[in-house]
Amino acid sequence: MDMTEKRKLFESIVPQYSEKLYWAIRRIVLCHDDANDVLQNVFIKVWSGSDDVQARSTLATWLYRFDVYEALDVLRRKRNVASLDISDNISVANSLEADQYFDGDRAQALLQEAIASLPDVQRVVFNLRYYDEMKYSEISQLLDTSEGALKASYHIAVKKITAFMKEHQ
């Protein structure tokens, strides 16, 4: 792919996918500033890897792969640096409500806190299935995991979220 083709591809990807990718990241990292940083890193990787778009993957799957792994890397780095455990941080809902970019109510903030309390893989699977309405086959390709394992992760995540919401009402 020559530079002109690469630029055209990139210029079509950014406006088409920015918002979807941002919200997929935001649901993982929760913080607006972190989500913006991750999105920028994703587009840098897209630019440098645009020659590697695999024929077996759709463009959206290829982008979400960058998206999810970059967001998970940010979470891992934050945990290593701050040694924070989300169960010790009961202020997820409070910090979201104070975030100028969060436009939900208290119930939405509690839902996000419940989702944040999930292990990383369950959180990603839940977000991709529930919010992004991805098919299990797409998530399977994205995360290199069997559809059966994804269905189990989603089911367990829903049970945990339901229990969390009942406990905090």
State the number of CA atoms in the 13 A half-sphere of 58 facing the CB.
Answer: 10
Where in the sequence is the domain holding 25, given as residue range(s)? 1-84
Together in a domain, 130 and 100 = yes
pLDDT at 162: 94
Residue 85 scores a pLDDT above 60 = no
What DSSP letter does each residue of 30-69 carry, written as one string? --HHHHHHHHHHHHHHHHHHGGG--TTS-HHHHHHHHHHH
Determine contact, residues 15/101, Cβ cutoff 8 Å.
no
pLDDT at 59: 79
Q: Which of 64, 84, 104 is the last residue of a domain?
A: 84
Higher-confidence residue of 50 and 150: namely: 150
Compute the average pLDDT of residues 139-164.
94
Together in a domain, 143 and 64 = no
pLDDT at 69: 87
